[in-house]
Structures are given as C-alpha cells and as structure tokens.
Chains A and B, each alone.
Chain A
Amino acid sequence: MAELLQFISSGLTVGAIYALVALGFTLIYKASDIINFAQGEFVMLGGMTTVFVAMAGVPLPLAALIAVVATTATGLALHRFAIEPARGASPVVLIMITIGASIFLRGVAQIVFDRRFHSLPPLLGADPIQLGGAAILPQSLVVLASATAIVTLLWLFVDRTLLGKAVIATAANRLAARLIGVDTRRVVALSFGISAAIGAVAGILITPIALTSYDAGTLLALKGFAAAMLGGIGSAAGAVVGGVLIGLMEAFAAGYVSSNYKDAVAFLIILVVLISIPQGLFGRAKVERV
C-alpha cells in the first residue's frame, strides 16, 4: 500500500510535467497544424536559464521569472524568424523546421551554458512528508499545484476572453477567422509564446527533482508528445489526461518492473496508440467534408 502510494505520488508529479509539455504541443498544433519539436527545448531553457541566472547571484524567484520571459522571447523569435518566413509551406516542412530549431537550441545551450547536469533547490525544502508510509517530496506538491494553476489559467483564457475565443476560432476554421478580421499570424505567434512560457515553467518545476542539462529537453519532448498522442493530438483535456497517465504508467513500470525500462513506456504507448487508437482518447477522427 505504501509502495503504491509512493508510485502514485511520483507518477503524478512527472505526469503533471508531461501534461504541461503536451499542452504546449497541443496549443501550437491547434493554432497552426505544426507539431513543434522544439517544445522540449523550451522546457530545458526554463530550467537551465534559471540555474545560470541564479548562479550569477539573482534571487531564485526572480531568476525563474527571467527564465520564463527569456524562453517566451525565444518561442516568439522561433515563430518570427523560422516559422513565419516559411508561411505557406506544408506542415511537414514546418515540422522539419522545428526539428532543426530544436537541434540549434540544444547547440546554443551547450555553448552559452555548459554540458553538465544542474539542479535547483526545491521551493519548500527537501524534507519528505510522510503520508501513509510513503515519502512525498514537497516539490511534488509544488509541481502539482503549479500545473493545476496553469491548466486553470489556460482554460479561463480560452473560455472567458474574446482573445481566447479568437484562438479557438482560428483553430476551428482558419479561413473564416481571417474573413472576420482575425490576424491569424498573430494568433500563431501567441500560441508559440504561451507554449514556450508553459514549457519554461515545466522546466523550472522539474529541475529540483530530475536535474537538467542542455539536452534534457529531448526526452521530455518525446514523453510530452506521447502524452499528446495518447490524449488525442489537438485536445487540451487529452493532453492533461495523457500526461498524467504516462507519468503513472512510467512510475509503475519503474517500481514494479525495473527502472531500466522506465523510459521505454512512453515509446511503447506511442506505438500502441498509433496502431490501435490513432485518434487518441479524446481526439475525434478527422472527417473530410466533400
């Protein structure tokens, strides 16, 4: 029982991070049909920038804020200088551009930062909380609370603001959105900015638990992508559920099977989803109207 509780708590924690990464994928995909494979680098930039700004003597909360702003700026720059000039190209070309951007950002991080692993002090201290025999890290609670807050804010944004509705409108019907006067380029830019910000926050939250390095984004991106696929690409609720499910399955695989196979879980899920439920749990099969 204590064991199960332990696995659940660690599964939920990483699952929340995967959910945030998956949300980043979803947001950009909805607005532009692009799968942004540089999403993981946003996560890495969030963690690494915080580490290095904090090392320079800036207080941690301020360093985290600087990291989020810098990563958001990177996301906007990626859109402005790499995606926007290729406007009109097929989604496959745009996806390849994001893969290139991902490699580029990793390379730059290697030079600007370094090639070592880094950590951050946890926000609420490192002493585990004992709960039913399981030891829960206070940082886990910070991760869960922050992820919940981000999901809620995002939901309020799309459900309660007209700008959010313009984003939904653009996702639902880009031509009609342009015809009513929505500047869809700005909507896509906005989706890159928000996705980058969410990725950065995820990166800052996970660093005290999982360490970070210049190439930490690759694996996180793949797992977030698996989560988005499992939930149904393009579905925000699916991204959250998919992320949590993958986190839990990973924790169970690591606990009950072997931690060597932990990382294989996400890939196994991608395969199973592609073969048996390509539209994902929450996705709708695309219906072409003639």
Chain B
Amino acid sequence: MLSVENVRSAYGRIEVLHGVTLHVDAGEIVTLIGANGAGKTTLMHAISGVQPVTDGTMKFEGRSIGQLSAHARVEAGISQVPEGRQVFEPLSVKDNLRLGAWRRRSADLRQDLAHVIELFPMLEAFMEKPAGTLSGGQQQMLAIGRALMAKPRLLLLDEPSMGLAPKLVDQVLAVIRSLKDEGLTILLVEQNAGAALAIADRAYVLETGKVTLSGAAADIHRDRRVQEAYLGI
C-alpha cells in the first residue's frame, strides 16, 4: 500500500535520512522503533509531504506521491496524527474534528463525527470546549479523531503514547487495534517499543537515519540487540 524507497531528507546541509526503505501492506500495523533523533518523525513528515525529500521514491497504492503537496496526500488517503498531538488549541473540539475533514468539507460529516465519538466517548462532553483546555490524554484522542475525520486508508501515528499515563496508553493501544480491525492500515512510530511490538504485525528499527533491522514484530521482539537497546531486557 505504501512503499518508501531509498528516501533521503535533510535539514539544511545536515542529512537525517540516509536512504530509508520500507513498505506497509494493506491492513497491517507496521511499527517503526528507534531512539530519539533516529529520524522517525522526519520520515513521517516526509511521507505526509511536509518535509522535503532530496532523493528516493514514495508510492501510495501504486501511485507516486513524491511530487504531491501535503494536502493532495491527505486527499489521496494518508492522514497523520503528529507527535505531541498538535490540536488547534483555540478552537473547540468540534471545530478541530470538522477541520479534520477539511479536504471533504462538502460531505455530510454527522456520521463521521458520531463514529469518532463512538471511539472516544470522553470527547462528547467537551465538544464545545477549546481543545487547549483538554488533558494530554484527551488531546491525543482528539488528535486521532481529527485524523480519522479525513477518512484515511493509511494512518500515520507519531508517538501516540508519549507523555500519557499507563492507563491511557493501554486505551490508545486498544483504539489502534480496533482501527486495524475496521480495516485501516497503520504506520506507528513509538518509543514505547514493547507496546508497539505487541500490537504490530511487522517492525522496522531505524537507527541514525537508516533501517538496521526489519521483520515480523514477534521476531524483532525476540532480537537480542533490540531487547538490549529498546526493551531494557
């Protein structure tokens, strides 16, 4: 569904992605694990088209997306829940969700809003409240809900568990699993490697801008180096 080949990207003259290759098949949860500064967020930004790519190709559903603008990629079916949630703080929860469907704003959104509330019942009570007043966990739910409003086929999740209480982490992971059951394809970036590997089908390990290991999530979980470096075992 998504294939990234030899993608390079740089901030100014400093290259942070040195030719990354990975693919995500339809219906999968693929996780990308790696330390801080490995280039995970840069790669997510490159896939969404908000970070320029200096080399390599990206294809989504067989179609090259390298030249598409960020909004055209949303239209094509790729949505991202950015790291740190990034909800629109001054706007109400409802407006955040409505804006999530910006590229299909003429559509009837009632069903989609209802669906998001079904996934995150806690949001209903806050619909008219500014998103900035929500707790971190609620903002994360909102950020995921906002991305879903675009009706993506591929969801990019960047560190959804970051800064959340353990109970909320479980809740977010449960939602990710149920989204997969609905048929959504997911690329998940996580520092919480244990949790990510537990729900993923396949995994890639990204180290200083290169994929150093890939395979079935269970195999990666058993890998000695991964256990030492990312799982603290």
Contacts and interface: CB of A to CB of B under 8 A. Distances in A.
Partners in one complex: yes
Given A179-B74, A181-B71, A181-B75, A166 B82 contact: no
Interface string A151-186: 000000000001001101100110111111111000
Contact of B99 (A169, A175, A183): A169
A176 B88 CA distance: 8
A180 B69 contact: no
A181 B91 contact: no
A162 B98 contact: yes
Contacts of B191: none
B98 A179 contact: no
Contacts of B71: 178, 181-183
Given A180-B74, A183-B71, A175 B98 contact: no
Contacts, number: 66
Contacts of B63: none
A162 B150 CA distance: 15
Contact of A165 (B50, B70, B89, B98): B98
Interface in B62-95: 69-71, 74-75, 79-80, 82, 86-91, 95
Of the four ranges (under 10, 10 to 19, 20 to 34, 35 or more), the interface on chain A belongs to 10 to 19
Nearest to B49: A178
Given A162-B105, A165-B99, A166-B102, A181 B70 contact: yes
Nearest to A174: B50
A183 B50 contact: no
A179 B91 contact: no
B70 A168 contact: no
B88 A181 contact: no
B69 A175 contact: no
Interface of B: 48, 50, 69-71, 74-75, 79-80, 82, 86-91, 95, 98-100, 102-103, 105, 146-147, 150
